[in-house]
Structures are given as C-alpha cells and as structure tokens.
C-alpha cells in the first residue's frame, strides 16, 4: 500500500511538472503590409488611475483607428474609490475608446467577499460576468478573472472548457495575473495558472495570452505554441527589471507603454510603444484557423462588437443609457 501510494504521488508530481514545463519554440515571422490589415485593437494594463499617464496613453490610442482596447486589470488603485473609476472611464469616453476589461486585484471592494463583481456590475453592466467571451471579426477573445482560480469543476473552469470547445478558431486569452514571467512575484498563483489555465489552453486554438499585474513589459517565446505577454505599462509605479527566464523573448522595465495589435488573415502583428512613441518590441503571432464556420453546431454564434464609429456617445453606451444596446449574453456551459 505504501509503495502504491508513493507511486501515485510520484505520478501526480511528474504530471504536474510536465504540465507547467512547456516546449519552447521560436516566434513566427510574417509580412505585414499596411493595405492587407483587416482591423486593429490595443491593450494596456495597470492604469491605477495614474493621472498624467492614463490620459496620455488614451490620447495616443484615440487616433489609432481601434475597434476596442483590452484593459488588463487594475483599472484603479482603490476599488472603493468612485473618483478613480470615474477618472479612468471618463478619459476613455473622452477619447472614444471602448474598453474590454478584465478584473485586477486592485479593482475589488476589499470590505466584501468580492472578486470584482461589484464594480463590474456598476460600470460594465453589459458584461454577463467578470469572465466572458466575445468574437470580433473572426477573432475570439476569452476574458478571465484571475481573482478566481480555474480549478477543475469550478464555474470559470467549466466556462473556459466550454468556450475553447464550442468557439474554435483564432483565440486571444486575457487575464490580470501573469501565467509565465521570469519574476518570482505571485509565484504560488502562477503555479496554479500554469497547471490549470495553461493546461487548458495547450493544444487549443489560443495563440496569444495578454496579462498585466507586474509593472514592466515581458514577452515569452511561444510556449506550447502560445505567446505570453505581461504588460503593466499604465502604472505610475514601475518595477525594476527582472532576470529573464529561459523562455523570455523580450523584457523592458522602467517605461510606461501600451500595445497595438494589427489583425491579418493569418497572423497578429504586435507593436509595443512607450509614451515617447519609441518601439519597445514587435512580434508576430500565427493564428490557428478552423474548418467550422461560426454559427454551426461546432462553432456557435457569438456576439460581435459593432464598430466604435457606429456608436453614439461612448459615455452613453458605457453607462447603459442607450436603449437596445447589444449585450454579450452568458452561455449555458
């Protein structure tokens, strides 16, 4: 019995080590002519209500012809501050930017057992949960709440499994806390995310994961075919450089930044820039296609975001004042 239990324990450990030790490959490279670009979106993380930084980043994004901006969490520094929420969201409204957010650890109401739900219900009432899926112009986005662990059998784990199986095709995954980074910060959480989130994404159609939390920029080489980005570039308190990991493809500290993503038929072309318009990093991500057309039994219909230039005043949409605004509906996973 002791030998059997020992063998089982060794097997579990070996399985876990294999699951969090991905195969490292080299980044893809594509030709990205401007006239072949289909559309663009952006990403920024950890604005923390940083006056003098958030407004500058949003102003630069205003004229970039974006469909939306993925916010990688920590929208504010204090989740209980109405003033901070209004500042960041009003800056987005002023610059006609549609934010598609994930929950950061600073976005929670700490006096409650809250994992981001309170403020998301208030400011993003059109979203069904603090984790959700949408598809825009052929690209899937799976937005996860890293304040909720995706352990097997939990609601978010079931959601992730459902979305990956029922919405095949090119997929970008976003959450606040990093999954792969050279930093030891938040290591225990990273272990669980590597075990369960990366384990679920491995062999799926996901090829890019965007995260924040650490206030620097880091990009991995493809890990089991997935490129992981850490982008806390909106933060007023930037972190010092970390020691690169074996899988690190790019690392820059001490510079506020944001990312621009141009979508092509077969790849994403990503540029990361600082506030002086200097390029920090560029890279390409191959997109996994699917033979199942959207709307079929194996690739269900999903909400498409209307182009931002077709919408009335963004503040009205954000506050839910426009009758008949399209909603992102929850799925019965």
What's the pLDDT band for 9 if we cut at 50, 70, 90?
very low
| Residue 10: predicted pLDDT | 43
Beta-bridged to residue 28, according to DSSP, are 284
What average pLDDT score do residues 270-274 get? Answer: 98
Q: How far apart are CA 53 and CA 57, in angstroms?
A: 6
- The whole-chain average pLDDT of the chain stands at 88
Reply yes or no on whether the pLDDT at 306 is more than 80: no
**pLDDT tens digits along 183-226:** 988 899 999 999 999 999 999 999 999 999 999 999 999 999 99
Residues 6 or more apart in contact with residue 262 via CB below 8 angstroms: 32, 37, 39, 40, 268, 269, 270, 271
The whole-model pTM stands at 0.90
Reply yes or no on whether the pLDDT at 278 is more than 80: yes
Residue 82 token pair: 């109405």
H or E element, residue 45:
none
| Residue 7: predicted pLDDT | 42
What average pLDDT score do residues 83-106 get? Answer: 94
Reply yes or no on whether the pLDDT at 146 is more than 60: yes
Please give the angle made by the CA atoms of 293, 144 and 101, to the nearest 5 degrees. Answer: 95
Q: How far apart are CA 182 and CA 220, in angstroms?
A: 9
The dihedral sign for the CA sequence 126, 128, 132, 137: negative
The dihedral sign for the CA sequence 221, 223, 227, 232: negative
| Residue 113: predicted pLDDT | 85
What's the pLDDT band for 110 if we cut at 50, 70, 90?
confident
| Residue 19: predicted pLDDT | 67
Comparing 331 with 164, the larger pLDDT belongs to 164
What average pLDDT score do residues 51-60 get? Answer: 96
Q: How many CB atoms lie within 10 A of CB 298?
A: 12
């Amino acid at each position: 019995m002791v030998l059997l239990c020992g063998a089982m324990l060794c097997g579990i450990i070996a399985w876990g080590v294999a699951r969090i030790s991905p195969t490292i490959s080299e980044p893809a490279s594509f030709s990205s002519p401007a006239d072949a670009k289909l559309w663009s979106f952006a990403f920024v993380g950890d604005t923390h209500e940083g006056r003098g930084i958030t407004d500058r980043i949003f102003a630069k994004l205003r004229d970039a012809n974006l469909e939306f901006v993925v916010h990688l969490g920590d929208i504010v520094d204090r989740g209980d501050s109405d003033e901070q929420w209004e500042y960041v969201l009003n800056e987005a409204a002023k610059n006609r930017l549609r934010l598609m957010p994930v929950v950061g650890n600073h976005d929670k109401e700490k006096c409650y057992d809250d994992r981001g739900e309170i403020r998301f219900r208030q400011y993003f009432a059109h979203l069904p949960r603090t984790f959700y899926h949408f598809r825009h112009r052929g690209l899937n986005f799976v937005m996860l709440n890293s304040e909720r662990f995706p352990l097997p059998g939990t609601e978010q784990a079931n959601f992730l499994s459902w979305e990956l199986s029922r919405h095949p095709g090119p997929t970008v995954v976003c959450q606040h806390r990093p999954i792969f980074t050279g930093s030891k910060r938040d290591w225990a959480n990273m272990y669980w995310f590597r075990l369960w989130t990366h384990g679920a994404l491995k062999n799926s159609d996901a090829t890019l994961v965007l995260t924040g939390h650490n206030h620097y920029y880091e990009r991995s080489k493809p890990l089991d075919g997935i490129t992981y980005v850490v982008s806390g570039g909106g933060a007023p308190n930037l972190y010092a450089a970390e020691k690169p990991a074996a899988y690190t493809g790019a690392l820059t500290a001490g510079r506020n930044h944001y990312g621009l993503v141009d979508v092509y038929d077969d790849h994403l072309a990503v540029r990361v820039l600082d506030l002086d318009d200097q390029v920090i990093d560029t890279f390409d991500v191959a997109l996994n296609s699917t033979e199942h057309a959207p709307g079929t039994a194996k690739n269900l219909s999903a909400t498409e975001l209307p182009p931002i230039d077709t919408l009335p005043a963004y503040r009205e949409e954000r506050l839910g004042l426009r009758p008949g605004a399209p909603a992102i509906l929850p799925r019965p996973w």
